[in-house]
């Protein structure tokens, strides 16, 4: 929002500062026809040149007046004199006089070292986008054709085309996490066992994560 | 040129990865923003010329200028969104400010040839406006928000401990979902599976109440430096170097609650909050020509190269869950993604290129004469082709992992499958009465989604008035923009997906003030 306000103010200043040459006549409409710009009268240009000269002369006058009161103004236009350079002495006469030289490592107090940024991208399961390819076999010729089928959508709570698999807790069991299902579920989980475990105290896993392990809170807070 | 731009970005860029397919059309599917005069005629500027908007459409149109001009285009919009999610309608509003092309144009005789004239333009424009708010709420008895995280863990086949680190590889999904008990492992018929706690509600035949609130802000702000030449009054050509700056911010809240009074079904509620920001800068080139076969008639052709963006995403995510125990007690868990991103927001940077764009256009300008009292009218129309499936993502990681490389390839393939090329149409006209002008326009932007079930298009109806006198001009335009789109709260691979249809009615008022100098 600040950027917008700044741009607005700058633009208004720019627009309002423009002196228009079309105040008294028609405003050209460049969509239809754009005439060449009217040339300003010559005496105006002459006046501007005179103004520049006057400004230059005034500047010199002011410099003379200032030099009367302050000697520094007298050498204002002189070339740079290395004699007055405060750093010249130190560099040419040895490191001892160099104000930036220090014989031992410099430790800057107050430096803050932060952990590296986590650069994990915002990824998604691209399998949820893909069109599935279906192979259609021509019964007569035996040839196959690959066609793309669109994904189905469920946008209605009364839809009967999409029945959710019913998975209910298994009765007569002491485990809270045991269920039974009449259908196979695709979210089976078979983690590889050659990676790190939850009890690992090492600084990183072998599969992309790093840092210190974060424990899961106890169930029930 | 493409190589130079890429080399420039490579030189200044850091580590980077790819993103998600929805990011593709955010930077390609938006209506053209223009001055009030051009918005009033539907945004058609492919052949008309004589307006600063030409810098962003067909820079050859700047070649008509022989005068100097400074313009400023502020705007105000009001969005009224109607969302239909699982047959329940929700209304929402969002107002805000915008700005169109603003800057200066210098038209002058060519210093090398008396026949020719040139124009230089410096401008800034908000080419895309992301300010919006989407809100929908409905019952869902089929799928749950938490299932996407269960699916992700199940597909990974990695031990869950691999994700639970202070610098995790899944800091926005598996890690906080697991530690907030939104997902867990269970044995089904003796087979280990990953399931969301909320699935027990659905399995028992109950519905979850789902509510989605997504607030977005920002835009693409493009600086343009243009040069145009009017060669012999028959041929005009021009080029624009565009530097688009991206600022996109979104805050997504998804709330899922158990609608039953049963405290023994394992799940009570989830409040998920996702703060996401994209910033970056890019570069593009716009080239165009206008041919005048005879007086009154103008034919235009413009080509826009892709914008090459170097973008950086910053993200934090919160999971607040209420999980019911078998004894009926409700326990709350709060997980923040920064726990898994070294106690600071996660950042990732990447390249994104937008599609090519081609515009052909024709105009009929009645009375191209100097006396403004005798200038009468014009009509103009553009046809634009934009290949939305041409967006590409890439990384600049020096040694990308096989997983990153595979994801990039798959992502670009999905973009090609999900989106398609569209024809966009813009048309309008003006009638002029000396210093007063009246205008009407129309624009239509086609559906970028390949899937026929997903409807998306934009229709703009516009009208406006203009006044030009004494070196000053002002234009005022009203635009009624109807946008139809879809929004998916989450995606699942092994179930049918659900989405909300969004109908946005936007009232947009744009003013342009300018001076000739």
Average pLDDT over residues A134-161: 68
Q: Is B399 on the interface with A (CB under 8 A)?
A: no
pLDDT tens readout for residues A10-54: 655 555 555 556 766 678 888 888 887 655 554 555 555 555 555
| Confidence (pLDDT) at B12 | 34
| Confidence (pLDDT) at B383 | 97
Q: Is B47 on the interface with A (CB under 8 A)?
A: no
Residues 31-60 of A with CB under 8 A from B: 31-37
Model confidence at A187: pLDDT above 90: no
Model confidence at A122: pLDDT above 80: no
| Confidence (pLDDT) at A158 | 82
Chain A environment of B19 (Cβ under 8 Å): 121-123
pLDDT tens readout for residues A92-119: 555 555 666 666 666 666 666 667 777 7
Q: Distance (Å) from the C-alpha of residue B1 to the closest C-alpha of chain A?
A: 29
Model confidence at A144: pLDDT above 70: no
Residues 422-481 of B with CB under 8 A from A: 432, 435, 451-453, 468-473
Counts of helices then strands in chain A (DSSP H, E): 3, 5
Residues 159-178 of A with CB under 8 A from B: 159, 162, 164-169, 175-178
Residues 241-270 of B with CB under 8 A from A: none
| Confidence (pLDDT) at B475 | 95
| Confidence (pLDDT) at A182 | 43
Task: Give me the interface pTM, i.e. the ipTM.
Answer: 0.79
Q: What pLDDT band is residue A196 in, cutting at 50, 70 and 90?
A: very low
Q: Is B409 on the interface with A (CB under 8 A)?
A: no
Share of chain A above pLDDT 70, in %: 29
Distances in Å between the alpha carbon of B298 and those of B37, B117, B294, B377? 18, 17, 8, 14
CA B441/CA B475 separation, integer angstroms = 14
Secondary structure (H, E, C), A172-216 = CCCCCCEEEECCCCCCECCCCCCCCCCCCCCCECCCCCEEEECCC
CA B252/CA A180 separation, integer angstroms = 35
CA B26/CA B219 separation, integer angstroms = 10
pTM of structure: 0.80
Residues 297-336 of B with CB under 8 A from A: 313, 315, 323, 325-326, 329, 331-333
Q: Is B293 on the interface with A (CB under 8 A)?
A: no
Q: Is B95 on the interface with A (CB under 8 A)?
A: no
| Confidence (pLDDT) at A48 | 56
| Confidence (pLDDT) at B23 | 80
| Confidence (pLDDT) at B276 | 94
CA A14/CA B70 separation, integer angstroms = 8
Per-residue buried b or exposed e for B402-427, using 16+ beta carbons within 10 Å of the residue's own CB: eebeebbeebbebbbbbbeebebbbb
* Contact state of B107 with A164 under an 8 Å Cβ cutoff: no
Distances in Å between the alpha carbon of B177 and those of A188, B130, B192, B320? 17, 29, 18, 9
As given in the structure block, the two tokens for residue A122 are: 């915002």
Contact assessment for residue B145 and residue B270, using Cβ atoms and an 8 Å cutoff: yes
As given in the structure block, the two tokens for residue B62 are: 């700047």
CA A8/CA B419 separation, integer angstroms = 37
Average pLDDT over residues A77-84: 56
As given in the structure block, the two tokens for residue A176 are: 């809270």
| Confidence (pLDDT) at A52 | 56
pLDDT, one tens digit for every residue, chain B (517 residues)? 444 443 333 333 333 334 677 888 888 899 999 999 999 999 999 999 999 999 999 999 999 999 999 999 999 999 999 999 999 999 999 999 999 999 999 999 887 777 789 999 999 999 999 999 999 999 999 999 999 999 999 988 889 999 999 989 899 999 999 999 999 999 887 888 999 999 989 888 889 999 999 999 999 999 999 999 998 778 999 999 999 999 999 999 999 999 888 888 899 999 999 999 999 999 999 999 999 999 899 999 999 999 999 998 999 999 999 999 888 889 999 999 999 999 999 888 888 999 999 999 999 998 877 787 888 899 999 999 999 999 898 876 656 667 777 787 888 888 888 899 999 999 999 999 988 999 999 999 999 999 888 999 999 999 999 999 888 999 999 999 999 999 999 998 888 889 999 999 999 999 999 998 8
Q: Using the 8-state DSSP alphabet, how is residue A200 labeled?
A: -
Q: Is A218 on the interface with B (CB under 8 A)?
A: no
Q: Alpha-carbon torsion A14, A15, A17, A21, what sign?
A: positive
Q: Which of B16, B58, B67 to mutate to test the interface with A (most CBs of A within 10 A)?
A: B67
CA B515/CA B486 separation, integer angstroms = 43
| Confidence (pLDDT) at B362 | 96
**A148 against B199, higher pLDDT:** B199
Q: Is A17 on the interface with B (CB under 8 A)?
A: no
Chain B environment of A149 (Cβ under 8 Å): none
* Contact state of B51 with A30 under an 8 Å Cβ cutoff: yes
* Contact state of A212 with B166 under an 8 Å Cβ cutoff: yes
Count the Cβ atoms, other than its own, within 10 Å of residue A160. Answer: 6
* Contact state of A32 with B331 under an 8 Å Cβ cutoff: no
Q: Alpha-carbon torsion B259, B261, B266, B267, what sign?
A: positive
* Contact state of A115 with B104 under an 8 Å Cβ cutoff: no
Per the rule left: phi > 0, alpha: psi between -120 and 50, beta: everything else, B157 is left
* Contact state of A129 with B326 under an 8 Å Cβ cutoff: no
Q: Is A112 on the interface with B (CB under 8 A)?
A: no
Chain B environment of A150 (Cβ under 8 Å): 451-453
Residue B445's contacts (CB-CB under 8 Å, 6 or more residues apart) are B29, B31, B422, B424, B457, B458, B459
| Confidence (pLDDT) at A202 | 41
Q: Is A2 on the interface with B (CB under 8 A)?
A: no
CA B190/CA A178 separation, integer angstroms = 8
């Amino acid at each position: 929002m600040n950027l917008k306000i700044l741009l607005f103010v700058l633009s208004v200043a720019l627009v309002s500062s423009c002196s228009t040459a079309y105040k008294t006549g028609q405003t050209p409409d460049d969509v239809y026809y754009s005439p060449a710009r009217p040339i300003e009268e010559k005496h105006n240009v002459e006046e501007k040149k005179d103004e520049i000269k006057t400004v230059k002369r005034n500047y010199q006058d002011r410099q003379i007046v200032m030099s009367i009161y302050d000697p520094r103004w007298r050498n204002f236009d002189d070339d740079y004199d290395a004699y007055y350079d405060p750093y010249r002495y130190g560099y040419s006469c040895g490191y001892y006089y160099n104000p930036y030289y220090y014989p031992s490592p410099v430790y800057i107090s107050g430096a803050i070292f932060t952990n590296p940024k986590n650069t994990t991208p915002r990824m998604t399961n691209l399998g949820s986008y893909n069109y599935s390819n279906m192979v259609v076999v021509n019964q007569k010729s035996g040839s196959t054709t690959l066609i793309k089928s669109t994904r189905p959508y469920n946008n209605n709570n009364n839809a009967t085309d999409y029945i959710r698999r019913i998975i209910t807790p298994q009765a007569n069991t002491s485990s809270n996490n045991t269920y039974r299902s009449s259908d196979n579920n695709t979210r089976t989980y078979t983690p590889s066992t050659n990676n790190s475990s939850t009890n690992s105290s090492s600084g990183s896993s072998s599969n992309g994560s790093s840092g210190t392990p974060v424990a899961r809170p106890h169930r029930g807070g | 040129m493409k190589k130079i731009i890429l080399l420039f970005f490579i030189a200044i860029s850091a580590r980077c990865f790819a993103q998600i397919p929805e990011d593709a059309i955010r930077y390609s599917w938006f209506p053209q923003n223009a001055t009030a005069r051009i918005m009033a005629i539907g945004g058609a500027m492919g052949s008309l010329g004589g307006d600063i908007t030409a810098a962003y459409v067909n820079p050859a149109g700047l070649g008509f200028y022989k005068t100097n001009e400074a313009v400023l285009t502020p705007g105000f919009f009001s969005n009224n969104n109607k969302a239909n999610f699982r047959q329940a309608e929700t209304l929402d509003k969002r107002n805000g400010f915008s700005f169109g092309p603003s800057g200066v144009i210098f038209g002058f005789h060519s210093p090398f040839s008396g026949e020719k004239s040139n124009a230089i333009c410096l401008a800034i424009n908000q080419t895309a406006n992301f300010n919006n708010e989407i809100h929908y709420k409905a019952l869902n008895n089929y799928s749950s928000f938490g299932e996407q995280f269960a699916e992700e863990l199940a597909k990974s086949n990695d031990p869950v401990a691999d994700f639970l680190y202070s610098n995790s590889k899944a800091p926005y999904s598996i890690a906080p979902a697991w530690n907030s008990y939104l997902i867990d492992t269970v044995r089904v018929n003796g087979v280990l599976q990953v399931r969301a706690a909320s699935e027990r509600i659905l399995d028992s035949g109950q519905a979850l109440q789902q509510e989605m609130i997504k607030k977005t802000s920002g835009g693409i702000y493009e600086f343009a430096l243009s040069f145009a030449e009017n060669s012999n009054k028959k041929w005009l050509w021009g080029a624009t170097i565009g530097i688009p700056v991206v600022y996109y911010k979104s805050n997504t809240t998804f709330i899922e609650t158990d609608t039953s009074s049963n405290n023994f079904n394992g799940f009570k509620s989830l409040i998920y909050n996702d703060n996401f920001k994209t910033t970056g800068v890019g570069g593009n080139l716009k080239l165009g020509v206008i041919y005048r076969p005879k007086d009154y008639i103008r034919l235009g052709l413009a080509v826009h190269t892709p914008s090459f963006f170097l973008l950086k995403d910053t993200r934090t995510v919160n999971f607040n869950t209420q999980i019911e125990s078998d004894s009926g007690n409700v326990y709350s868990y709060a997980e923040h993604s920064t726990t898994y991103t070294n106690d600071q927001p996660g950042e990732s940077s990447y390249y994104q290129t937008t599609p090519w764009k081609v515009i052909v256009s024709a105009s009929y300008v009645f009375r191209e004469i100097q006396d403004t009292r005798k200038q009468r009218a014009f009509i103009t129309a553009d046809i634009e082709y934009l290949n939305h499936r041409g967006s590409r993502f890439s990384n600049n990681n020096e040694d990308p992992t096989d997983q990153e490389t595979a994801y990039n390839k798959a992502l670009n393939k999905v973009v090609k499958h999900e989106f398609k090329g569209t024809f966009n149409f813009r048309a309008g006209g003006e009638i002029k009465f000396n210093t007063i002008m009246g205008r009407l326009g129309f624009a239509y932007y086609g559906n970028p989604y390949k899937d026929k079930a997903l409807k998306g298009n934009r229709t703009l109806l516009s009208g406006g008035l203009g006044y030009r006198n004494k070196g000053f001009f002002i234009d005022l335009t009203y635009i009624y923009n109807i946008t139809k789109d879809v929004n998916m709260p989450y995606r699942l691979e092994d179930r049918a997906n659900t989405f909300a249809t969004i109908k946005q009615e936007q009232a947009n008022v744009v003013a342009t003030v300018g001076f000739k100098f």
